[in-house]
Structure 1
Amino acid sequence: MTAKTDPGRFFEDYRLGQTIRHAVPRTLAEGERALYHALYPQRFALNSSDAFALDCGLDGSPMDALAVFHTVFGKTVPDISINAVANLGYAEGRFLRPVFAGDTLRSESEVIGLKQTSSGTSGVVWVRTTGFDQNGDAVLTFVRWVMVRKRDADAPAPETHVPDLATSVAPQDLILPEGLTFADYDFGLAGSPHRAGDYAVGETIDHVDAVTIEEAEHMLATRLWQNTAKVHFDATHRDDGRRLIYGGHVISMARALSFNGLANAQVILAINGGAHANPCFAGDTLRAWSEVLDRADLAPGIAALRLRTVATRGHPFALRDEAGKYLPDVLLDFDYWVAMPG
């Protein structure tokens, strides 16, 4: 009998410099937008209203940046993380151009780092992934690293190479959507009077609201983004019989909760870094808080805020213990740039 199925790559299958074209392009439609808004309490005006977006100089309301991220990410899972133990972090993420309903996205990844773990049963793989639209234009690029099981614990370890990654995307490398202007920005419709200049570096914001993560919603999101990682949908894959909540689900929920306090953070421009500090499971009640890390002027009337948004089961503004380790209630530590009225 000839094998037709694919068990996915294991750690020993990766090679430094390897380029992987991921299968099955995905056309995003208004249905994906509606479902994204149903899964997350997303209220940012630019991604909610064509009329608001037109007043901001765009051709219509773009897809939420994180919906684009999830789509590009989901394409990579069968090749990169289907045999993952955990997705560990992100860096050097840049949103290069807006995506609109009707655009078709595909993904490509380059292996830029490898390191076997001390146990010898798994290894960390770093990849730089790029998402392209139907015209071949890059819309998004990011680095992520993931711990992947080995098929054979006795297989020789590859030469260790840990990539040197930037701690953040420089403000001069941030790309605004073409035509974006906040000259006629309606603060009343956006839901907040606060401009970028109203936020001080070092300021912290408790986003007040909370959402309990449900198994059904997580499963729907995982399938929506065609994320096939076994830890998310196969209850037999973990020894404890629990399905791990997709980290992107936590990111989107935290971003949606951040509206209360950051309603004018309309455009995500870059992902500087991110860590899934502790696993999230159905039944966890998620809260979010943010810290302003930096601010930069980008164009007349448009500024960027660098934000850290933390998703937690615990109290706001608690992040690490005295030894510098993430507290057990911290689920996500997410560092990113947003564009706001200046």
Structure 2
Amino acid sequence: MKLEFRDLKTQYKKYKNEIDIQIQEVLNSADFIGGKEVNVLEERLAEYVGVQHCITCANGTEAMTLIMMAWDIKEGDAVFVPDFTFFSTGEIVSFRGATPVFIDVDKDTFNIDSIKLESAIKDVLLQGKLKPKVIIPVDLFGLPADHFEIQRIADKYNLRVLEDAAQGFGGSINGKKAGSFGDAATTSFFPAKPLGCYGDGGAIFTNDNELAEIISSLKIHGKGDNKYNNIRIGVNSRLDTIQAAILNVKLTAFIEHELEDVNNIYEMYTEDLSNIVNTPIIPKGYVSSFAQYTIKLKNKKERDALQTNLRDEGIPSMIYYLKPMHKQEAFSDLVYSENDFEVTNQLCETVLSLPMHPYLSEQDVKKVTNVIMNFKST
């Protein structure tokens, strides 16, 4: 059987009956937009994460955009974003006309470096051209960022915090779940995420009643008490009922066993590889949901050679990320010093993500680790 990087096929086979029944119920009701399944999902997600409000929407990028809209982030504002992450986290800042300020990451956790974050905030204040407004820490590869320290910094400089938990759903720090940090948080239900649907989808989490009300309006054309009474300019960003029905089944599986299973697989990988390559570091008190299991090699040549070797053995792998944010052509108008991104630049040349999902067998893991051990021994 072919080894999958993220095995959605096996997951579907396991829960085929439940998923098919839920989809059929939506088809029978023909309530495709805003059906009861959406409300049920939002209530369950809010309870699981531990917040008062969960508002679903079309995708994770629009979830962050809705927050930027609600907070009136605009031209002249500075928003602090990790340099080592997916493009959308910076994109939503520029989309609003604001300026993303990219911050290097910690070499062990790959998450935003809080010391460099505070230094960058001070620099922006000293220059006086932009007004610091928001920090967007990313829970990269499933591991929550250093949220308590980030919140301390945010409070010190009177900044808002938007937690990008697109990869982090299910992770936690001392029992506090990803999605419950900051003033608001977002997640993505892209199929390959820890909790994914069969298309696009996203959600916003917050304890702020006013913010929840504004976002609920913004996501449906800025509606007021009904959809034909529009009180602000909004967008069309809704999670459809079929996707919610699928997610309700998959959320149960995630809670019952999938999060535990990926952490067991993490331990199997790490037991074999910890003395062979640099394996993921999970700080004390942290739980990762392992959107990816990412190792570090010595240099780009070794990383690329290992990826080729794995491919030759029928093992998929991925590089997250080939190019840092500050080198993206879309941000070429921004001026940076390469010295500010030493860790990110190194990671882009040395990281490699291995197959990681709840349905990997011990035999699957051994197949991957044996190839890596043999590669490193030659």
Normalising by structure 1, report the TM-score.
0.28
- Please state which structure has a larger fraction of its residues in helix: 2
- Please state which structure has a larger fraction of its residues in strand: 1
Larger radius of gyration: 2
Normalising by structure 2, report the TM-score.
0.26
